[in-house]
Amino acid sequence: MTHINIPPDHPRAESLTIREKLVERHLEGIVAASGLIAHGRGEAFDYLLGEKTTRPASKAIRAAAAMLLTAENPVISVNGNTAASVAEEVVKLAEIAEAKIEVNLFYRSLERVLAIKKLLEKAGARQVLGVGKRASARIPELRSERRRVDPRGIMAADAVLVPLEDGDRTEALVRLGKKVIAVDLNPLSRTAQKATITIVDNIVRAAPRLVQAAQKLKEQGVEKCREVLLNFDNRKNLAESIALIDENLLKKFSRESTRTVSERD
């Protein structure tokens, strides 16, 4: 049930609908209050990226799919925002990549973990790790609630997909020798900078593309996946995303500067 009526012809109808969905999921106890703030931060970067999946993002998506498919024990880490936005895609991707799904929260409470588990199960998940006492392992040197992980999941994983993450855990997972795939609209964040593969895209657009890429690469086989990974350079890819933001700002600035003051107001 939405709280406002979003006119379908509103120029920002799509963005407003996504916002509304997150607000609803917050009221249902799935998205943390801070998750709404995090979403606003993401929106600002999305605006600067042109609100579309860019070329570097597409390359990173393909590399991420290849990494999940070639991993021995891949895990998809799910927080409130991810569950609220792309639960179905998480389940599909897990099936294709034979990955486990684990709930891992920064603002952890049993109620939230259970609400997210329920949402994932409704989307078709058969097993959800990281619930209650099952999250009995600890990521060393990590102080936040994100340190609580499932010994059958993130702790045993060699590759972890971490959408909308905070930098600390990404760094800690990399220190443990795990490959980390981040989805983060901010290419300058610590997560984006420290991950093994960074997808600078909105999770809402990236997740269905990740499912498609994984399906296609699975059909093409493991050698193709290795080739994709060999040809991917995360630093170069991040630099391309930052350059695109620069270009968009310059374009916007030159358009704005040719408009009259009354037009701008």
The Cα–Cα gap between 28 and 66 comes to: 35
Nearer to ligand PTJ by C-beta: 107 or 220? Answer: 107
Closest by CA to 149, choosing from 161, 163, 162, 135, is 135
The Cα–Cα gap between 250 and 28 comes to: 41
In whole angstroms, how close is the CB of 190 to ligand PTJ at the nearest point? 9
In whole angstroms, how close is the CB of 35 to ligand PTJ at the nearest point? 4
In whole angstroms, how close is the CB of 156 to ligand PTJ at the nearest point? 21
Nearer to ligand PTJ by C-beta: 158 or 166? Answer: 166
DSSP E strands in 129-234: the ranges are 137-138, 148-149, 159-163, 179-183, 197-199
The Cα–Cα gap between 46 and 183 comes to: 12
Query: Which residues are near ligand PTJ by CB under 6 A?
Result: 32, 34-35, 38-39, 41-42, 45, 79-81, 105-107, 164-166, 183-186, 189, 202-204
Q: 166 phi and psi, to 5 degrees?
A: -105, 155
**Bridge-based pairing state of the strands 137-138 and 148-149:** antiparallel
Q: Which neighbouring-strand residues pair with 77? A: 102
Please list, residue by residue across 163-189, b when 16 or more beta carbons sit within 10 angstroms of its beta carbon and e when fewer do: bbbbbbbbbbbeebebbbbbbbbbbeb
Nearer to ligand PTJ by C-beta: 70 or 193? Answer: 193
In whole angstroms, how close is the CB of 67 to ligand PTJ at the nearest point? 18
Nearer to ligand PTJ by C-beta: 68 or 83? Answer: 83
User: To which residue do tokens 């895209």 refer?
Assistant: 201
In whole angstroms, how close is the CB of 16 to ligand PTJ at the nearest point? 14
Nearer to ligand PTJ by C-beta: 70 or 89? Answer: 89
Nearer to ligand PTJ by C-beta: 38 or 76? Answer: 38
Nearer to ligand PTJ by C-beta: 105 or 159? Answer: 105
Q: 178 phi and psi, to 5 degrees?
A: -90, 150
Q: Which neighbouring-strand residues pair with 199? A: 183
In whole angstroms, how close is the CB of 263 to ligand PTJ at the nearest point? 31
In whole angstroms, how close is the CB of 163 to ligand PTJ at the nearest point? 6
Structure-token pair, residue 263: 């037009």
Closest by CA to 77, choosing from 202, 148, 138, 162, is 162
Which residue's Cβ has the minimum distance to ligand PTJ?
42
